[in-house]
Structure 1
Amino acid sequence: MFELIQLRCFVAVAEELHFGRAAARLNMTQPPLSRHIQVLERIVGLELLARSSRSVRLTAAGVVFLAEARRIVELSDSAVATARAAAEGQRGMVALGFTAASGYSFLPSFFGRMRIDMPDVKLLLKEMVTGEQLESLQTGRLDIGLLRPPVRGTELASMRVLTERFVVCRHSSIPEHARPRTLADFDGLPIIMYAPDKARYFHDLVTGLFANAHASPQLVQHVAQIHTILTLVGAGHGYALVPEASTHLHPDNVVFSELENSDPIVELHAAWREDNVNPALRLLLTNLRRWTRELGGAEDDQQA
C-alpha cells in the first residue's frame, strides 16, 4: 500500500507539472521526490505522470488518481488539525450546568463570548439548582457549573463570575411614593420569600439582610424559583427582593425599583473539578477568567 508522503509528492508534481518546483514546495530535493513517484506508480501499477526532457503531464489515469489523492491528503491534514484543536481545547464539548437566574443576564453574554472565542466547542446545557450541580460535578456528569456559593465538595474549585444587587419588585398598582425604599421599610409588609430548602442561598441572604435592618416582613409564601416569585408579585401577593438581573424579565404587572443603600452581594460562581482533564474545559476556564475580569466580576480561584 502506498504511503501518505508518496501521495503528497504526487499531488505536488501534478499541480506544479514540474519536479523542481514541486521539490521546493515540499522542502526536499528532487531525487527523493522522483523515487517517491516511481514507488507510487509501481504500487498502483499505472503510469500517472508522462515525463519528457521538457515537460511533465498527467496521464488519463493520473487525472483520475489526482482527485482521490487530494481528498486523502486533505482528510489527513484535517484529521491532524482536528486532533490538535481538540488537544488544545479548541474543539470538543463541555457539559455546563446553570441555575435559572443565571440565564437572565450572565448566560447571554457568556454565549456571545463563546461564539467568538470558542466557536467549535459545543455546550451541553443542563438547568439545575445549585445542590444538583454540586452532585453532578462530583460524579462527572458536569464539567462546569454556574451556581450560588458556597461551593462545597472535595476536589472542587470555584471563582466568582458575577456580583449584583438586590432590587425591589412590587405590583404595578402600588405607586412609587408608597413603595419600600430601604430594608427597614419592609417591616410588617407582605413579602414572597425564598424557600429554605431549595433556595437556601437566597433565603439565608435575604433573611440576614432583614435581621440586620431589624425588619420583620410578613412572610406569605416560600418558593424556589425567581420567575415564580415574580408571578406571585404580579398577582398581588406581596413584595419581593430579587437579583437585579431579574429586571431583564418582563412579567405582567410587576415594577422593579432600586433598593436604597444596597451593596452588590448576590454572587454567581463557576465551579469545576480540579482533576477534570477535558481540554475544552481548561481553555474555557482560561477564557472565563479573562471575560469576567473584563466585566469586573472575577476573583482568584478558590479551592472548596
Structure 2
Amino acid sequence: MNLTQLRSAREVALQDFNLGRAARRLNASQPGITRHIQLLEADLGVAIFARSGRRLTGLTPAGRALMPLAERMLDTHHQMQGVARDYATGASGEITVATMHAHARYILPGPIANFVQDFPLVRLRLRQGSRADVIRWLSCGEADFSLSSVPEGAFSDLQFHHCYDVHRVVLTPKGHPLTNCKRLTLEDLVQYPIITYDHLLQVWEVAGHELERRGLRPNFVLSAVDADIMKTYVRSGLGIGIISNIAYDSEMDADLEALDARHLFWTAPVQVGVRRHDKLSPHALHLVGLFAPAVQRALQLGGRSLTT
C-alpha cells in the first residue's frame, strides 16, 4: 500500500466511480488507475469497490470504513509536507491572535518569545479587546485564532477548544486579617474596601438584591481593566483586590497574598477559537502548541472541537 494507490482510490470515489474521469484528474492512464486499485485491494485483503462486470458501482462496506482513513492519511501527508517546507525555508508570514488583556499580559509572553526565536521572519499581531470584540474579529477573518472566554450564544461558523480555566483570587498585603480565614465568605470581603475589574461590578449589581437581603453593602473604591494597576493600589493600602488567578505571580508578587475565591465567584473556561471550515497555518498551529498542546493535537486531527 502506498500514497499513489490511496490517491487513485480516493479520486475514483470522488469522480462517482468513473475510472476515465479519475485518470484525467490525476494525469494518469485508466489502466494505471485500475492497477493501483487492484494492488491496494490485494494488500488490504478486501474489496474496496463494488463491481458490475468491469464497471465500478460504489464502495463496499469495507470501502466505506476504509475511505475516511485513506483521506486522513493523505491529508496528514499533505500537512507534513507543508510543515516540513515551512521549517526548512523559515517561511515568512503573519499571524494575528485575538485575545483579552489578561491572556496577552500573563499567558502569551513566554510562548510568543519562544515562537519568535524559532521563526523570526513570521510577524505576530495581538488584537486585544472584550470577549465580544475577540469573537467578532475571529468571525470576520481579522484574526487567525482567538484565546479568550466565550460569550454566551451560538456561533455556527466558529469552533472552540478548551484550553484552561480562570478563577478569582482575593489579593491582600501580607499579614492582612483575611489571610487568617480558613474559607472566605462574602461577609468577610465586604468588611474592606474592594478593588476589582470593571466587568465584575456588573456581577455584583446582578447579585445586589441578595446582598441587600443579607445586609451586605460592598464598598467599591476602584475599578480598572488592568490587574497590575489593581495590584499597585492594593500595595498602597487602598483596599483588597479581586483579580484573575493568572494575574498573580508568587515570585513577582511576593509581597502580596492571593486567597482562593473560586467558591465565591464563577470559574471561566478559556478557549482557543478557530473558524470552523478554515485550517490554521503550520506556524499558527505551532504557536497554539506552545501554550495549549492538547488543542494543537485536536486541530491537527481534523479540528474536532472539545467544546462547541
Q: What is the TM-score when the length of structure 1 is the normalising length?
A: 0.53
Counterpart in 2 of 1:270? 272
Match of 1:186 in 2: 189
Aligned to 1:302: 307
Which position in structure 1 is the counterpart of 2:147? 146
Task: Give CA-to-partner distance per residue, 1:56-114, whole Å, 9 cap, x none.
Answer: xxxxxxxxxxxxxxxxxxxxxxxxx88973599x8543211222211344214533664
One-letter amino acid of the structure 2 residue matched with residue 301 of structure 1: L
Structure 2 residue 221 is the aligned partner of structure 1 residue 233: no
Q: Distance in 2 between matches of 1:154 and 1:252?
A: 41
Per the alignment, residue 54 of structure 1 pairs with none
> Where does residue 169 of structure 1 map in the other structure?
171
Q: Of the two, which has the highest radius of gyration?
A: 1
Other-structure match for 1:259: 260
Contact conserved, 1:187 with 1:217, CA < 8 A, in 2?
yes
Give, as a single letter, the amino acid of the residue that structure 2 aligns with 1:189.
Y
Q: Which amino acid aligns with 2:276?
A: E
Q: State the Cα RMSD in Å.
A: 4.6
* C-alpha distance 286-230 of structure 1, shift in aligned 2 (>3 A): closer
3-state SS of 2:277 partner: coil
1:61-210 alignment to 2 at 5 Å?
85=85, 91=91, 92-111=93-112, 114=115, 122-150=123-151, 152=153, 153-172=155-174, 174=176, 182-184=184-186, 185-195=188-198, 199=199, 202-203=200-201
- Distance in 2, matches of 1:121 and 1:134, equals 24
Cα distance in 2 for partners of 1:143, 1:124 equals: 10
Instruction: Please say if residues 101 and 129 of structure 2, whose CA atoms lie closer than 8 Å, have aligned partners that are also in contact.
Output: yes
When residues 105 and 158 of structure 1 are mapped into structure 2, their CA distance, relative to the original with a 3 A threshold, is: same
Letter in 2 for 1:274: R
Cα deviation, residue 180, structure 1:
8.9
Deviation at 1:186? 0.9
Mapped to 2, the partners of 1:111 and 1:219 lie a distance apart of 36
TM-score, normalization: structure 2? 0.52
Q: Secondary structure at the match of 2:151?
A: coil
Query: How far off is 1:259 after superposition?
Result: 2.1
Which residue is 1:242 aligned to?
243
User: Alignment length, in residue pairs?
Assistant: 214
Unaligned runs of 5+ in 1: 1-80
Alpha-carbon contact 2:131-2:151 (below 8 Å) kept: no
8 Å CA contact 1:87, 1:279 repeated in 2: no
2:103–2:147 Cα contact (<8 Å) kept: yes
Q: What is the CA deviation profile of residues 176-196 of structure 1, one whole-angstrom value per residue up to 9, with x for unaligned ones?
A: 65679503311342112322x
* Alpha-carbon distance in 1 for matches of 2:291, 2:256: 34
Q: Give unpaired runs (5+ residues) of structure 2.
A: 1-80, 297-303
- Give 2:196's aligned amino acid: M
* Structure 1 CA distance for aligned equivalents of residues 250 and 230 of structure 2: 12
- Whole-Å separation in 2 of the counterparts to 1:204 and 1:292: 33
Deviation at residue 275 of structure 1 after TM alignment: 3.0
Whether contact under 8 Å (1:234, 1:251) holds in the other structure is: no
2:111–2:291: 8 Å Cα contact kept in structure 1? no
Structure 1, residues 1-37: CA drift from partner, whole Å, max 9, x if none? xxxxxxxxxxxxxxxxxxxxxxxxxxxxxxxxxxxxx
Percent identity (aligned): 16
Cα distance between partner residues in 1 of 2:207 and 2:294: 27
Does 2:248 match 1:283?
Answer: no
Q: Give the corresponding residue for 1:74.
A: none
CA distance in structure 1 between the partners assigned to 2:111 and 2:133 by the alignment = 21
Q: How much has 1:169 moved relative to structure 2?
A: 0.9
User: Counterpart of 1:182 in 2: which secondary structure?
Assistant: coil
